[in-house]
């Protein structure tokens, strides 16, 4: 079996679907492959897009933002992951990106969240999704809400992916689900000219429906219960062994690899970032590094493979922004108003993955009151489990520290420094903004264990940020010398991009859209005569 197209896209999540649409906008004939049903990690995500510089949604909400403000913030987060010119292009195109998504049916809402949270409930859709109002950042640029949550109940990633997938098919993209790319073809000059794959395309309709159901269960709820995912994957492989057939798909112009990261590949995580093995794999089973490996097989090189984002959110409830996060020595580890990935990074890199939230009685009462008004059901369950199963309470700071296995003298010193700064009007020792600072004084005192460890009720989500290097002007995959590999492009978590240094909510999906569109445009413009065989 064989087929051909101008552009072949491997992986049909956010990056892949945006690449496919962008290629079709250039009138290229496109075939898109996905080993499951499409959607990738995006479809099971919270559906957050980091956007600003004056988007239509921000304007509707009365939020004032500018290119300069967004760029100043992202320079601090993105660092050297991409060139200054690429970051400027990303920021400058941000308002148009939201308009482009809206034109293809992605729904947005401008309702502002009035409190800082890791993910708003179903009443709010525009919020501070990063560290914008933390002390280190607000002294450089005013805090602005840039987390654009796609409108939909719960985790709304499906409401982002579904309209884009429908639009792609309506534009003429030939979508082949249940098709796994296994090899890239090259001609004598080294140009990538096609893909070898295994497809369930010709299996009986009943078998394809079963396959689709198993793949869906593997993605979600399998993401939260690894034994279920492993069971579903075994059954999927059994079906593939019986029914999958080989297919060769020739790419007249280019191949674009958008197959996700490698957080689901435990062997790779153990090799590149072993301290992160115990987290929740934030992705589908397709995030196994196979797209990266495909690109490597034709000369691609990787970068930042040891960079994994570990999330330790302490909000909601928003009251916990006024708590203290301490390590085993009783010392504070970070400004508690920082984004959860920054908290997780500090814990993993400098404190052995261990940390506790210290709250006094008044703060804990406020946090309990907020459980019903600020949380979605799964957040409520996680916080309730933390308060009930992972907390220690005692009448004094010394006693609660000793019971938790924390150095009492260190904890007393940290609380004293915190309270003294309030009393004297000095800056918070960890740099937390005054609006989030409250005295720790009212007994009893509680320590809530937020250490990174395997847990069904309070897991630590993790995703990989490293991948293959690309030419930032086009998304073309480059080899060791930095030269583009002819006919091969990449985007999304398969490739190095905007969020390959640090992560805030919405930055990965925004990068998928930005880099996916870039790759789609340039792949579609590859001249046909250069790939003649």
Report residue 385 as tokens.
Answer: 């489990």
Residues recorded for the chain: 533
Handedness of CA 269, 273, 276, 281 (dihedral sign): negative
Q: What is the pLDDT along the chain (533 residues), one digit of tens a residue?
A: 899 999 999 999 999 999 999 999 999 999 999 999 999 999 999 999 999 999 999 999 999 999 999 999 999 999 999 999 999 999 999 999 999 999 999 999 999 999 999 999 999 999 999 999 999 999 999 999 999 999 999 999 999 999 999 999 999 999 999 999 999 999 999 999 999 999 999 999 999 999 999 999 999 999 999 999 999 999 999 999 999 999 999 999 999 999 999 999 999 999 999 999 989 999 999 999 999 999 999 999 999 999 999 999 999 999 999 999 999 999 999 999 999 999 999 999 999 999 999 999 999 999 999 999 999 999 999 999 999 999 999 999 999 999 999 999 999 999 999 999 999 999 999 999 999 999 999 999 999 999 998 887 889 999 999 999 999 999 999 999 999 999 999 999 999 999 999 999 999 999 999 999 999 999 999 988 444 44
Q: Give the bridge partners for 196, in sequence order.
A: 183, 248
What is the Cα–Cα distance from 467 to 288, expressed in whole angstroms?
Answer: 12
Contacts of residue 234, defined as CB under 8 A and 6 or more positions apart, other chains included, come to: none
Neighbour count for residue 250 (Cβ, 10 Å): 18
Burial 168-177 (b: 16+ CB within 10 A, else e): beeeebbbbb
Assess whether the previous peptide bond of 60 is cis (omega < 30° from 0): no
How far, in Å, CA of 351 to CA of 127, rounded? 29
The domains found in the chain, sorted by start residue, are 2-41+157-199+244-309+464-525 (3.50.50.60), 48-149 (no CATH), 312-449 (3.90.700.10)
- DSSP strand pairing (467-468 vs 476-478): unpaired
Measuring CA to CA, which residue among 148, 153, 152, 166 is closest to residue 12?
166
CB 126 within 8 A of CB 53: no
What's the distance, Cα to Cα, between the start and end of the chain in Å? 19
The CA distance from 34 to 178, in Å, is 6
For residue 444, cis peptide bond before it (omega within 30 degrees of 0): yes
| Dihedral sign for Cα atoms in the order 81, 87, 90, 95 | positive
Question: Does residue 351 contact residue 325 with C-beta atoms inside 8 Å?
Answer: no
Count CA within 13 A, CB hemisphere, residue 67: 9
């Amino acid at each position: 079996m064989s087929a051909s197209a101008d552009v072949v896209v491997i992986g049909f999540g956010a990056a892949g679907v945006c690449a496919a649409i962008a290629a079709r906008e250039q009138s290229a004939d496109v075939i898109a492959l996905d080993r499951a049903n499409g959607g990738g990690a995006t479809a099971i995500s919270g559906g957050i897009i980091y956007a600003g510089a004056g988007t239509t949604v921000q304007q509707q909400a009365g939020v004032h933002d500018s290119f300069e403000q967004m760029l100043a913030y992202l320079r601090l987060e993105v660092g050297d992951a991409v060139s200054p010119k690429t970051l400027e292009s990303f920021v400058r195109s941000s308002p148009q990106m939201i308009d482009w998504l809206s034109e293809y049916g992605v729904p947005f809402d401008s309702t502002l969240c009035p409190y800082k949270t890791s993910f708003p409930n179903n009443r709010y859709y525009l919020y501070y999704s990063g560290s914008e109002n933390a002390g280190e950042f607000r002294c450089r640029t005013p805090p602005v809400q840039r987390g654009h949550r796609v409108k939909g109940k719960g985790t709304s990633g499906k409401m982002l992916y579904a309209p884009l997938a429908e639009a792609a098919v309506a534009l003429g993209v030939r979508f082949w689900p249940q098709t796994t790319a296994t090899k890239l073809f090259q001609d004598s000059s080294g140009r990538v000219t096609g893909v070898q794959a295994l497809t369930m395309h010709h299996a009986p309709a009943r078998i394809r429906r079963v396959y689709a159901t198993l793949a869906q269960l593997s993605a979600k709820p399998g993401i939260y219960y690894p034994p279920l995912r492993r069971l579903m994957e075994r059954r999927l492989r059994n079906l593939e062994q019986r029914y999958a057939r080989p297919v060769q798909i020739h790419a007249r112009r280019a191949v674009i690899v958008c197959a996700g990261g490698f957080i689901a590949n435990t062997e790779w995580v153990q090799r590149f970032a072993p301290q992160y093995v115990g987290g929740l794999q934030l992705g589908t089973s397709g995030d196994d590094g196979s797209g990266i490996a495909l690109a490597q097989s034709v000369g691609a090189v990787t970068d930042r493979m040891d960079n994994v984002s570990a999330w330790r959110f302490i909000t909601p409830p928003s009251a916990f922004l006024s708590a203290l996060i301490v390590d085993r020595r009783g010392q504070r580890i970070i400004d508690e108003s920082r984004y959860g990935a920054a908290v997780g990074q500090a814990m993993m890199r400098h404190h052995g993955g261990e940390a506790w939230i210290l709250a006094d009685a008044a703060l804990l009462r406020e946090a309990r009151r907020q459980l019903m008004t600020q949380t979605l059901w799964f957040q409520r369950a996680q916080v309730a489990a933390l308060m009930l199963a992972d907390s220690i309470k005692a009448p004094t700071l010394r006693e609660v520290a000793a019971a938790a296995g924390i150095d009492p003298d260190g904890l007393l010193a940290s609380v004293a420094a915190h309270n003294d700064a309030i009393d004297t009007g000095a800056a918070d020792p960890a740099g937390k903004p005054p609006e989030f600072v409250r005295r720790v004084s009212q007994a009893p005192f509680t320590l809530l264990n937020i250490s990174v460890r395997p847990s069904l009720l309070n897991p630590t989500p993790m995703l990989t940020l490293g991948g293959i290097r690309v030419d930032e002007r086009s998304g073309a995959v480059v080899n060791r010398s930095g030269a583009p590999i002819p006919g091969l492009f990449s985007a999304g978590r398969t490739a190095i991009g905007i969020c390959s240094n640090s992560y805030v909510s919405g930055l990965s999906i925004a990068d998928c859209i930005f880099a996916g569109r870039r790759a789609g445009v340039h792949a579609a413009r590859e001249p046909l005569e250069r790939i003649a065989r």
